[in-house]
Structure 1
């Protein structure tokens, strides 16, 4: 908290330090003036304390309210980092960086998702929960599946790992992609709505 500046009463230069008592009456100096200034400074200091405290309380409320905001099923976000240290930030589903959609939110750390095809994100501080995440992709999108990190949409070149050739809604079954479909060329999401991704080579 900054203290209001205090301005000492100036003594004319032609007076010696010990001659303050000889100042003329024309300077209109009164002990009451110094007392009034001291009172004003004290009041301003007190008001400053209340203002700073008020701002601190507001900041704390804003911070905790923001930190406590739940990540809801259906929210999109950017999963980044590695499997050892990951971060999930809510984003608009149309954002290029939004690589996942929240399919399930389960209480506790390392809760079991409805399918092994979901990516899992654990929140270990505060309220502990697990997010089961599905890829935020459309038909024709290509994906790079990082070994120790999150999958991301990329250009459909040989550098991509696979292409989403078809999305079957209303079914969470590998056979929805054909009788010959395997675990390697399908992704199954039972929640919150059944969804099956049929995969193909990127080029």
Structure 2
């Protein structure tokens, strides 16, 4: 059940950032159809011992072959590898996503989480730091960038704990009254944040 929760968060968080960093033009309808078929299989439970993620992966790869810049399909492919605990293949997908999105910090965070699951703690810390610098740069250019603010709070939760993340959330709400309501919507997530579910590790 915890694995399902982690995958749900993965899909929820990075699919939204995928929409933000995707190009304005929509992929061809056939590419979208292939991606959507993959999503259907990814959401299905295993049948007869067969992991539906394998079929999902095939569809996502076909969608990417159809449109090599289809960011949402790449994100879903990463989610399918996450489902299979194939973290090395998932890492390769995020490397590709970073090249497509000019090193979007949200994908760097996902790489840091993967490094933790692979027990490569130093690499994880390095990537959290790089991601935080990326979000800080976005904030310097756009102080009310809610994506960057939430990204920095996410890194707090992942690296120092949910109490510190909630403290940072409260601080950011005071600094940004115009988007306080949207930021406050994240409170339940941080109050129920479980680092071990996300990273496989309980230590910081």
TM range, smaller chain: under 0.3
Structure possessing the higher radius of gyration over alpha carbons: 1
Higher strand residue share: 1
TM-score scaled by structure 1?
A: 0.19
Task: Specify which structure has the higher proportion of helix.
Answer: 2
TM-score by length of 2: 0.19
Report which structure shows greater RCO (CA 8 Å, sep ≥6).
Answer: 2
